[in-house]
């Protein structure tokens, strides 16, 4: 209709002076409307099979096309007004008003678009009419303004009506969908009822046998481990409660064995879960041979439980040892000969507890303690073990807040040059005042390593030691020696941490010594060597601590980049016995490795003289000074002024 109206208006009132302009205007209208028709056809083709098309972009294109069309119509009376006769102006006003009136219905789906389209169409010719001195033009302009207001109001009402109609239509669609879904569900339910009736008739023909089968199935699902066929957690705990109750009534003890497999994770990770599952089945069969079927259970993963009635501590230990021996026998899976070991914790009823859950927990704690200590025999729970576990837990909880409560502090023990008794270095030693109670590093350091706190604590120690050392006005050349855990050294961010601490403290790298325990090198040789090279490239010195007490081979040591070897206190204490030979051997090895030596634990003048005579480079121990707080170093004076002689 817009194309027809545009053609009538352009060609009916064409003159020589307006010919080119009207042809151009007509071409713009036709081109614009043609593009809109093409866009509409494409949209319908793309969405004809889609029930709910995503029309957001198409709606924006349609709206943009409508507005451009309105603008093109609005331009006509403004541009050609000066050359229009009253008939042409009246015709233009009628056509534009008709288009505006039609738009209130056609565009009723969008209130804003309907109003904008009407305003853009009508307002231009109304304004030019009002601006004319001709009364006819002025009247048409005034009528246009009034008509526009009526159309805006009508458009708003039509839009509201259209939206309500759309909503009602959607509601009807939803109701029809729900009705169809309900009908489909009713058909499904009827089909299921029919099938159930058929099955029920089949069951009724042999009801007793079917009940027995279902009962067995329910029992298996609720009481048995699906993989091994042993009792699951719930069933085993209930059975253990029954055994404990009977043991109290009959006066016979019950032993509970908590068994954890050592080495299973490696099998499961390297050979796959299928091999792992068959391995667990084989272990379960071996354990079941030592107890009644309903008194052997799988706790989860590679953990098993065995309840032994009429078993005291000695009997339980004997059976546990036999189980460990059985588990240690080769297990053949898919042609692979696999080897496992086990850790076993034992708890007794009624001695340790009369509750199944508590008894299981006690046996579990005992097993964990045995595994941590590396004990290769079963262990029975004891009150001493309980106290130890509770104390460790209390210490661990306190350690988590030790830094924020400022309970940790450093002490420094001087390391003296054996030749002239000058102070060469100070070893930083971590101390902990736990609410007024001193906790030794031999207690809390292992806990920090196991809990992962060692990284945070170790970073604090390094930073504190470097900050203290840079302010030692009494000795501005002495180094500070800091012990580093293997967990810290294996951390990928350790080197970056070192760089940050040295940069923030201002301590020259050559004044920082890191002490690494010899046992660190056993399983991590490649990684450790890389880290040590990075450390030494920064002029930081490295010492092997407790040399001779670990298990590293000489072939490893000769390739490791270290500067100092520290002789353990145990050899110094036995210097008058076999320790003498070991120290001399250590000195020989150190010279071959091009390392200097430090002797720890020097407590007497005789030891100091002997070690110096052997060729030890540096000495450390109570003979020279005990560990001191940083503020005490300032007033400390070496009392051993007559050494060496």
Q: pLDDT (tens digit, 9 = 90+) per residue, 210-241?
A: 655 565 555 556 788 889 989 999 999 999 99
- CA-nearest of 122, 126, 106, 124 to 114 is 106
What is the Cα–Cα distance from 551 to 236, expressed in whole angstroms? 44
- Residue 156, judged by CB atoms within 10 A of its CB (0-12, 13-18, 19+), counts as middle
pLDDT reading at 556 higher than 80? no
What value does the mean pLDDT take over residues 545-553?
60
DSSP string, 326-352: HHHS-EEETTEEE--EEEEEEEEETTT
497-515 burial: b if 16+ Cβ within 10 Å, else e? bbeebbeebebebebbbbb
Interhelix angle 605-614/579-592, nearest 10 degrees: 40
Query: To which H or E segment does residue 261 belong?
Result: strand 254-262
What is the pLDDT averaged over residues 396-407? 92
Reduced to 3 states (helix: H, G, I; strand: E, B; else coil), residue 524 is: coil
- pLDDT band at 605; cut points 50, 70, 90: very high
- DSSP class of residue 385 equals H
DSSP letter for 292, please: -
- The whole-number pLDDT of residue 138 equals 81
Strands (E), 48-173: none
Higher pLDDT, 644 or 516: 516
Residue 207 has pLDDT above 80, yes or no: no
332 forms beta bridges with 337
In 3D space, the residue among 487, 469, 489 whose CA is nearest the CA of residue 478 turns out to be 469
Task: Give the pLDDT confidence of 338-382 residue by residue, as tens digits.
Answer: 999 999 999 999 989 899 998 998 999 899 888 877 778 899 998
**Comparing C-alpha atoms, which of 92, 104, 86, 105 is closest to residue 25?**
92
CB 572 within 8 A of CB 583: yes
Residue 51: the pLDDT is 66
Please give the structure tokens belonging to residue 346.
């034992």
C-beta separation of 619 from 643 below 8 A: no
Residue 645 has pLDDT above 50, yes or no: no
Give the alpha-carbon dihedral of 177, 178, 179, 182, to 10 degrees: 120
Say if residue 333's pLDDT is above 70: yes
Residue found by looking up tokens 């967990």 in the block:
487
Q: Is 508 a residue whose pLDDT tops 90?
A: yes
Q: What pLDDT is attached to residue 396?
A: 87
Question: Whole-angstrom Cα distance, residue 329 to residue 212?
Answer: 39
419 Cβ contact list (under 8 Å, min separation 6): 612, 644
Choose among 528, 583, 519: nearest CA to 553: 519
Structural domains of the chain, with CATH: 2-175 (no CATH), 223-381 (3.30.70.270), 402-633 (3.20.20.450)
Q: What is the pLDDT of residues 102-134, one digit of tens each?
A: 777 788 777 788 888 888 888 888 888 888 878
d(CA 624, CA 640): 6
- Tell me if 483 sits within 8 A of 515, measured CB to CB: yes
pLDDT band at 139 (very low <50, low <70, confident <90, very high): confident
Name 596's bridge partners. 564
Write out the two tokens for 283.
């272990």
If residue 400 lies in a helix (H) or strand (E), which one and from where to where? none
Two tokens, residue 62: 């349609």
Least confident of 279-283, 387-391, 412-416, 465-469: 387-391
Structure confidence by residue, pLDDT tens digits, 166-203: 888 777 777 777 777 878 887 888 788 888 777 876 77
Cβ atoms 565, 590 nearer than 8 A: yes
Structure tokens at 53: 């098309």
Q: Of 169-178, 306-315, 458-467, 576-585, where does the model show the most confidence?
A: 458-467
Query: Are 571 and 610 spatial neighbours (Cβ–Cβ below 8 Å)?
Result: no
Confidence of residue 325 (pLDDT cuts 50, 70, 90): very high
Tens of pLDDT along 585-597? 989 988 888 899 9
| % residues pLDDT > 70 (the chain) | 92
What pLDDT shows up at residue 553?
46
Q: Is 0.85 topped by the overall pTM?
A: no
């Amino acid at each position: 209709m817009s194309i027809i109206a545009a053609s009538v208006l352009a060609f009916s009132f064409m003159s020589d002076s307006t010919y080119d302009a009207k042809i151009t205007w007509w071409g713009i209208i036709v081109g614009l409307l043609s593009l809109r028709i093409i866009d509409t056809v494409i949209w319908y083709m793309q969405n004809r099979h889609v029930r709910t098309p995503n029309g957001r972009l198409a709606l924006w294109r349609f709206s943009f096309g409508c507005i451009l069309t309105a603008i093109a119509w609005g331009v006509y009376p403004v541009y050609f007004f000066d050359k229009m006769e009253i008939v042409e102006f009246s015709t233009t006003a009628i056509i534009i008003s008709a288009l505006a009136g039609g738009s209130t219905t056609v565009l009723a789906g969008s209130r804003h678009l309907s109003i904008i389209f009407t305003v853009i169409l009508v307002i231009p010719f109304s304004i030019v009419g009002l601006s004319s001195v001709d009364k006819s033009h002025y009247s048409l302009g005034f009528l246009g303004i009034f008509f526009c207001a009526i159309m805006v109001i009508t458009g708003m009402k039509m839009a509201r009506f259209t939206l309500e109609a759309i909503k009602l239509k959607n509601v009807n669609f939803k109701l029809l969908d729900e009705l169809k879904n309900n009908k489909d569900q009713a058909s499904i339910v009827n089909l299921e009822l029919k099938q159930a009736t058929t099955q029920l008739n089949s069951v009724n023909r042999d009801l007793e046998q079917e009940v027995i089968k279902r009962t067995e199935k329910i029992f298996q699902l609720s009481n048995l481990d699906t993989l091994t066929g042993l009792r699951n957690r719930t069933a085993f705990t209930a059975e253990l409660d029954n055994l404990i109750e009977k043991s109290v009534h009959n006066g016979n003890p019950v032993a509970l064995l908590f068994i954890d497999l050592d080495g299973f994770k490696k099998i499961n990770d390297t050979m796959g879960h299928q091999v792992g599952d068959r391995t667990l089945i084989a272990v379960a069969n071996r354990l079941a041979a030592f107890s009644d079927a309903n008194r052997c259970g799988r706790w989860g993963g590679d953990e098993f439980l065995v309840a032994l009635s009429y078993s005291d501590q000695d009997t339980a230990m004997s059976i546990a040892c036999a189980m460990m021996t059985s588990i240690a026998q080769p297990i053949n899976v898919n042609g692979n000969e696999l080897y496992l070991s086990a850790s076993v914790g034992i708890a007794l009823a009624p001695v340790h507890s009369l509750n199944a859950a508590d008894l299981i927990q006690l046996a579990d704690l005992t097993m964990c303690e045995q595994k941590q200590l590396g004990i290769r025999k079963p262990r029975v729970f004891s009150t001493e073990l309980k106290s130890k576990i509770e104390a460790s837990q209390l210490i661990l909880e306190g350690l988590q807040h030790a830094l924020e409560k400022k309970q940790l502090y450093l002490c420094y023990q001087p390391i003296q040059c054996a030749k002239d008794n000058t102070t060469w270095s100070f070893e930083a030693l971590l101390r902990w005042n736990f609410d007024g109670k001193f906790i030794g590093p031999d207690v809390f350091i292992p806990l920090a390593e196991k809990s992962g706190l060692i990284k945070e604590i170790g970073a604090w120690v390094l930073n504190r030691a470097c900050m203290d050392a840079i302010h030692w006005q009494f000795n501005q050349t002495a180094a500070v020696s800091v012990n580093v855990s293997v967990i810290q050294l294996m951390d990928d961010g350790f080197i970056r941490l070192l760089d940050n601490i040295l940069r923030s403290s201002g301590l020259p790298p050559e004044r920082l010594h890191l002490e690494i325990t010899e046992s660190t090198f056993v399983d991590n040789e490649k990684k450790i060597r890389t880290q040590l090279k990075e450390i030494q490239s920064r002029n930081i010195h490295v010492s092997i601590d407790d040399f001779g007490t670990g298990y590293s081979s000489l072939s490893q040591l000769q390739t490791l980049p270290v500067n100092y070897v520290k002789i353990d206190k145990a050899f110094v204490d036995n210097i008058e016995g076999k320790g003498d030979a070991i120290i001399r051997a250590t000195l020989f090895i150190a010279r071959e490795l091009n390392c200097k030596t430090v002797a720890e634990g020097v407590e007497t003048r005789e030891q100091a003289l002997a070690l110096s005579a052997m060729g030890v480079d540096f000495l450390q121990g109570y003979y020279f000074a005990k560990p001191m707080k940083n503020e005490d170093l300032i007033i400390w004076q070496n009392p051993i002024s007559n050494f060496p002689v």
